[in-house]
Structure 1
Amino acid sequence: MQARIRTATIAGMAMAVLAAVGVPTILTPPAHAAQVITDVAYAPAQPAGSRGHLLDLYLPSTGITPRPLLIWHTGSAWSSDDGKAGADAIANIFTPLGFAVAGVSVRSSAQAIFPAQVHDIKAAIRYLRANAATYQLDPNRFAIMGDSSGGWLTEMATLSGGVAALEGTVGTTGVSSAVQAGLAFYGPTDFLQMNAQNLPTGGLDHDSPASPESLLVGCPIQTCPATVAQANPMTYADGDDPPLMFLHGQADFLVPHGQSVLLYNRIKARCGEATFISVPGADHMMSQVMDPARHGTQTVRTTADCTETVSTGTLNPTWANFATFLRGGLKMGTSCEVSYATGAWNGAFNGSVTVRNTGTTPVDDWTVRWTWPGNQQITTAWNAAVTQAGAQVTARDAGHNAYIGPGSSQSFGFSATATGTNGAPAQFALNNTVCTRVLS
């Protein structure tokens, strides 16, 4: 259902509309096997009995460990303390790709005003990083994603890493709350400009004392510009931020499309790294922003190192492309090729593996995995830590060779025994991405 509200004199009505256009309306992938841990308290409940300090974890049953983590928060106009709802649908997409997924809730604006919500998401990130070994998470590969007010929270977390004033003292402290990549859907940025950016047909009255934005910051937004500036993700953008992708529909009735235009221009001006996908005709729903019928019409603006590219119809908003973006931001690699060679003697052989990064982003820390087609058994290895469980082999970088730049390669070798035929593995995967095989 496409929301159409002409006034916002009643805050509850506005919040209900924003809460009604969340993720579950468009995500219907098949269920998968994953371990689910629900209602993990990353901090004590505040107030007692509330849900704003809980998270759910979805851990994949396959893939390499430690796992990259994708944090999800569902938007609600800051009206709900159950933002972890909807993470199961996200997990259905990303756990088969080897990602762990955490659905994280934060306090509602009725329970605590800004910056409590940012304090909460940072506390959740710190908790997950402090307990990374327990859940087999990679503490250096955390990404965050959300829609609407969850998009705002994603942008705040992505751009404000290291900002002491936004850390707070909720839950676990003394651990980094930084993320390495962010992906946001139609998030608000500069609240003070929202009314001026409304569609010609109308929109919410964001300046109202009862608007979601005013309730978030605890004052009518036009009366407290300093506080509103602190709640603006643009305030924290600089050239050291991790990569951020954000999407916005040009017909968004609830959060004006111009909010993302402002954010992109600020990141570009500060030589940050961003990809902005602007979708004509799409309203405030993921089903419209990602609608295949609109593919090929979107404008894609990308900025990095003070250089901008603009195109039309490229980088369709699909889950496959989002996963590629996240893998690149997390330095996992997006495409690769492997060459494999052996030299055999008397029931034993030496093997060499060269993996080349054919993507446009670097790989930092790598794992190469393959499965033997016969009865081969690794005995020793060099330039990699190689382990074998049954027919499956896992080779991890040796530290000194962990980095593979775009177009570059790293090699490692091993000795093994073999009985019967000594066929080559059918495929190799770099950080869960299947590589093109180059015959040697």
Structure 2
Amino acid sequence: MHARKRTASILGMVMTMLATLGVSLVLSPPARAAAQVISDIAYAPAQPAGSRGHLLDLYLPAGGITPRPLLIWHSGSAWSSDDGKNGADAIAAVFNAKGFAVAGVSVRSSAQAVFPAQVHDVKAAIRWLRANAATYQLDPNRFAMMGDSSGGWLTEMATLTGGVASLEGTVGTTGVSSAVQTGLAFYSPTDFLQMNAQNLPGGGLDHNSPVSPESLLIGCAIQTCPDKVALANPINYVDANDPPLMFLHGQADFLVPHGQSVLLYNKIKASCGNALFISIPGADHGKSDVMDPARFGTQTSYTTTNCYGTTQAGTPNPTWDTFEWFLRGGLKMGTSCQVSYATTTWSGGFTGSVTIRNTGTTPIDRWVATWTWPGNQQVTTAWNATVTQSGAQVTARDAGHNAVIGASSSTSFGFEATYSGTNATPAEFRLNGIPCTKVSG
């Protein structure tokens, strides 16, 4: 947001700006293979009839390993729209190419239903997606969520309230887990009652107004109903068992004060949770601001793990690659790896040995190694992995007993294969979709 009137009294204009922020994605995504797009899936009956709040869109990448990790997206609108799945196509343009399925999820607006309806809705969508994971080749154990502004609030509520029975609701599919395994939120509110006090010195939105976005969500002027507000504050659900959460906030945010993310980070740190908070000086309320390459290197990153916090200046940059790195770590897919490959050859055949080392800082839980033969090699048998081959493409899946590779740890598997001519080493090995560094066996 670059042009605005800095006065909270013109609330209607501010509301209009808020409603557009969540869908104004300024991206330069890489070219992607054609994805399968399934639009307007009803994860629950429309409430009210004819509304869009119980619809989702699915973007399924072409090729890649299956089952796929899922990234759920919700665009912010100050809770004023029931079309939060809008904008998921831009997210899919980035993450389908990285092997992720993407679901754009809509929930009811605050005009259609007050809190906790929006949390009930997103949990219903997650349950539906998990219940139908096999149909769409989704990995039910690797669900992540991402959103901006009020979509970031919804992301934090989904990430931090897994297992909170009072927020499950009875919308749509029931009897399935609504938990996500990690979350990533952009400039979201976390403690409504402190927002006015944290506004920028030049002004800001009057969050205490009876017609503020927060008051309309709760159904009362927020300062008059603190007990209801407390139930809608993500900060009040933080505990040590929460999945890892990444959040970003611009220090010049005029609509949602930067201090909201400071409060959340401090609470997660005090609770011995896992979080990465990137604070960007000069950035306002919008992805184009917090991801502006002109600000790269100016940000400060705060990381807390196991009750210990660290601070880094200038790194990592808020890019889609950084977000992928965080999500992959949270989903226990691995963020970096090393492969050593050795062979013992005889006439017409050979034994291959592959050792995978997890060089990242988070454990890998369930792995798939893939490579392409440069010649006519054909795997005939394998051990410590389930190995299949289609043409020159080889896929090796863990054998169960070796599914977990801890940080700085390794696992090995072997196979026998036939060949004729040369028996060159594959050019690249990938682990859960990421290229591994090759070292001599």
Q: TM-score, normalised by structure 1?
A: 0.98
Q: Closer, same or farther in 2 for the Cα pair 1:163/1:237, shift >3 Å?
A: same
Spell out the pairing of 1:282-431 with structure 2 (5 A cutoff). 282-431=283-432
Q: Does 2:3 align with 1:17?
A: no
Compute the displacement of 1:8 (Å): 4.1
Spell out the pairing of 1:98-109 with structure 2 (5 A cutoff). 98-109=99-110
Match of 2:172 in 1: 171
Greater mean alpha carbon deviation, residues 4-13 or residues 242-251: 4-13
Greater mean alpha carbon deviation, residues 289-298 or residues 106-115: 289-298
Compute the displacement of 1:25 (Å): 3.9
SS of 1:133's equivalent in the other structure is: coil
Compute the displacement of 1:312 (Å): 1.1
Name the CA distance, whole Å, in 1 between partners of 2:408 and 2:189: 38
Spell out the pairing of 1:24-423 with structure 2 (5 A cutoff). 24-32=24-32, 33-423=34-424
SS of 2:171's equivalent in the other structure is: coil
Deviations 1:53-78 (A, max 9, x none): 00011111021100000000000000
Amino acid at match of 1:96: A
Name the CA distance, whole Å, in 2 between partners of 1:46 and 1:258: 35
Name the CA distance, whole Å, in 2 between partners of 1:316 and 1:94: 18
Work out whether residues 352 and 413 of structure 1, in 8 Å CA contact, stay in contact via their aligned partners in 2.
yes
SS of 2:21's equivalent in the other structure is: coil
Compute the displacement of 1:37 (Å): 0.6
Deviations 1:254-310 (A, max 9, x none): 001111111111111111111111111100011111111111111111111100001
SS of 2:304's equivalent in the other structure is: strand
Work out whether residues 357 and 409 of structure 2, in 8 Å CA contact, stay in contact via their aligned partners in 1.
yes
Deviations 1:199-220 (A, max 9, x none): 1100011111000000000000
Name the CA distance, whole Å, in 2 between partners of 1:29 and 1:362: 29
Amino acid at match of 2:131: A
Name the CA distance, whole Å, in 1 between partners of 2:419 and 2:241: 50
Name the CA distance, whole Å, in 1 between partners of 2:421 and 2:40: 51
Name the CA distance, whole Å, in 2 between partners of 1:212 and 1:23: 17
Amino acid at match of 1:170: V
Compute the displacement of 1:11 (Å): 5.1
SS of 2:135's equivalent in the other structure is: helix
Compute the displacement of 1:15 (Å): 2.3
Name the CA distance, whole Å, in 1 between partners of 2:90 and 2:428: 29
SS of 1:272's equivalent in the other structure is: coil
Work out whether residues 184 and 246 of structure 1, in 8 Å CA contact, stay in contact via their aligned partners in 2.
yes
Name the CA distance, whole Å, in 1 between partners of 2:25 and 2:135: 33
Deviations 1:58-114 (A, max 9, x none): 111021100000000000000000000110000010011100000000000000000
Work out whether residues 109 and 215 of structure 1, in 8 Å CA contact, stay in contact via their aligned partners in 2.
yes
Work out whether residues 105 and 122 of structure 2, in 8 Å CA contact, stay in contact via their aligned partners in 1.
yes
Amino acid at match of 1:381: A
Work out whether residues 8 and 203 of structure 2, in 8 Å CA contact, stay in contact via their aligned partners in 1.
no
Work out whether residues 101 and 138 of structure 2, in 8 Å CA contact, stay in contact via their aligned partners in 1.
yes
Compute the displacement of 1:346 (Å): 2.1
Name the CA distance, whole Å, in 2 between partners of 1:36 and 1:415: 40
Work out whether residues 298 and 313 of structure 1, in 8 Å CA contact, stay in contact via their aligned partners in 2.
yes
Deviations 1:9-37 (A, max 9, x none): 56543321112223534123255211111
Work out whether residues 5 and 203 of structure 1, in 8 Å CA contact, stay in contact via their aligned partners in 2.
no
Name the CA distance, whole Å, in 1 between partners of 2:99 and 2:189: 31
SS of 2:312's equivalent in the other structure is: strand
Amino acid at match of 1:423: A
Name the CA distance, whole Å, in 2 between partners of 1:289 and 1:113: 30
Compute the displacement of 1:311 (Å): 1.7
Greater mean alpha carbon deviation, residues 271-280 or residues 2-11: 2-11
Amino acid at match of 1:295: F
Name the CA distance, whole Å, in 1 between partners of 2:237 and 2:353: 47
Greater mean alpha carbon deviation, residues 3-12 or residues 150-159: 3-12
Amino acid at match of 2:313: T
Name the CA distance, whole Å, in 2 between partners of 1:198 and 1:24: 23
Work out whether residues 198 and 253 of structure 1, in 8 Å CA contact, stay in contact via their aligned partners in 2.
yes
Match of 1:4 in 2: 4
SS of 2:70's equivalent in the other structure is: strand
Work out whether residues 59 and 101 of structure 1, in 8 Å CA contact, stay in contact via their aligned partners in 2.
yes
Q: Which sections of structure 2, spanning at least 5 residues, go unmatched?
A: none
**Percent of aligned pairs with the same residue?**
77
Name the CA distance, whole Å, in 2 between partners of 1:402 and 1:396: 9
How many residues align? The count is 440
Name the CA distance, whole Å, in 2 between partners of 1:5 and 1:215: 22
Q: Which sections of structure 1, spanning at least 5 residues, go unmatched?
A: none
Name the CA distance, whole Å, in 2 between partners of 1:315 and 1:31: 24
Compute the displacement of 1:349 (Å): 1.1
Work out whether residues 11 and 212 of structure 1, in 8 Å CA contact, stay in contact via their aligned partners in 2.
no
